[in-house]
Amino acid sequence: MHLSESIPITPDFFTKGPSTRLAWLGMAGLIVNAHGMVVLVDPLLGMVEGDGRVTSEAGFPLDLPLPVTAEQVKRADLVCYTHGDEDHIGHLTARILSERLNCRFLAPPPVARALLSLGIPENRILTAHDWDTLMVGALEITITPALHDWQAENPWQRGDCCGYLLRCPDGSIWHPGDTRLIDELLTFKEVDVLLFDVADVDSHLGPVGSARLAASCGAKVLVPYHYWTFGTSPGPFADFDPHSLTSSTQGLDARIVNLRPGEVLELPV
């Protein structure tokens, strides 16, 4: 679904405050400010101009402005990647953030190697392994397992992809990444905000798998993601209507919050 607007993320989003704020960046992108500690997940914030048109670095049209560009990010303490597909890791974004900010990068091994090849210093790259936990200020981040074996040849293996569960002083936020519904995911509980994968294709949770995950983890708020909002795009997320989830979420003790790109949600919810 091509939305009618995006909302600019202003510089004050990056300042320290008494709460936790998050904003969806479009597709799988997420930004969180937990009491001043800023974490990004799968940011695609680079633009490419040519032949009279502007596209995202993933090749998708940009008929609407991004809520924030890589050059406009005022602070980032940690940049996390779930896996190496081009609609999740933006090489241009990674280079710009690395050059402008003193941030670290957290990624599963294939993405960690890609970041190193971009010239990002090794001492700024942390390798994400399933079940590991690290602290970023008052923010606890747990790496959650994923299986996203979509390729016909040399598919992603276990450990090549992951998700991130962020436990903040004001609540918890789970970005599961691209994954099938594997049994290990059903062990995570007490999640306040779940990013709800709407890509209804094999090797993704899709609405049905995301609903099962929401019921299992006790999510209070569901934020739909994995669809492109800035123009026409290829793939299963091209024409998604975020208001179409009513049937798949019936019976859940959770509310759907259809964020526009850049729209801020504050915790607790």
Q: Note the pLDDT tens digit of each residue in 64-123.
A: 899 999 999 999 999 999 999 999 999 999 999 999 999 999 999 999 999 999 999 999
pLDDT-derived band at 24, boundaries 50, 70, 90: very high
Determine the pLDDT at residue 205: 96
What is d(CA 74, CA 113) in angstroms, rounded to the nearest whole number? 26
Write the CB contacts of 181 (distance below 8 Å, at least 6 apart in sequence). Answer: 205, 209, 212, 213
What is d(CA 101, CA 235) in angstroms, rounded to the nearest whole number? 33
**DSSP-assigned letters across all residues of 118-180:** TT--GGGEEE--TT-EEEETTEEEEEEE------SSSPPPTTS-EEEEEEETTEEEEE--S--
What is the topology classification, in CATH, of domain 11-257?
Answer: Metallo-beta-lactamase; Chain A (3.60.15)
Tokens representing residue 51 in the block:
């032949």
Determine the pLDDT at residue 79: 98
With beta carbons less than 8 A apart as the criterion, state whether 5 and 246 touch: no
pLDDT above 90 for 16: yes
**Strand duo 221-225 + 255-256: pairing:** parallel
Write the CB contacts of 102 (distance below 8 Å, at least 6 apart in sequence). Answer: none
What is d(CA 178, CA 86) in angstroms, rounded to the nearest whole number? 12
pLDDT above 60 for 57: yes
pLDDT-derived band at 236, boundaries 50, 70, 90: low
Tokens representing residue 167 in the block:
């436990």
Tokens representing residue 62 in the block:
């940009």
Q: How many residues would you count in the chain?
A: 269
pLDDT above 80 for 237: no
With beta carbons less than 8 A apart as the criterion, state whether 190 and 172 touch: yes
